[in-house]
Amino acid sequence: MERLRSSPFHANISTTLDKHLESIHVVQARRKDEIVNASSRQRHGPPRCQDERVVLALAVVLRALCLATRKVRTVLWCAF
């Protein structure tokens, strides 16, 4: 979009896009933790309290990703 506009965006737009990308990476990391935890649980027996913490951590970062996505949509709409 910057090329179409032939001028750079406001710094807030770049910052918001960076935060969104960071949120995506955090969700990916939490999801990997959940997968590793689930595979180790199958080998070692019944679920543990730590499993709940992993799922709750994933839920928290998914909420943060949802908020970041809303902000990115708004910012990109304003930039457009």
| Distance in angstroms (rounded) separating the CA atoms of residues 38 and 30 | 12
Is pLDDT of 79 > 70? yes
What is the reported pTM? 0.77
Residue 33 lies in a domain: yes
Residue 67 lies in a domain: yes
Residue 42 lies in a domain: yes
Q: Domain residues for 51?
A: 11-78
Both tokens of residue 70? Answer: 């809303």
Which tens digits make up the pLDDT trace of 5-64?
A: 677 778 889 899 999 999 999 999 999 988 888 777 665 555 555 678 888 999 999 999
**Short-list 27, 21, 38, CA closest to 61:** 27
C-alpha distance from residue 39 to each of 26, 51, 72, 75 (Å): 20, 11, 34, 39
Domain count, the chain: 1
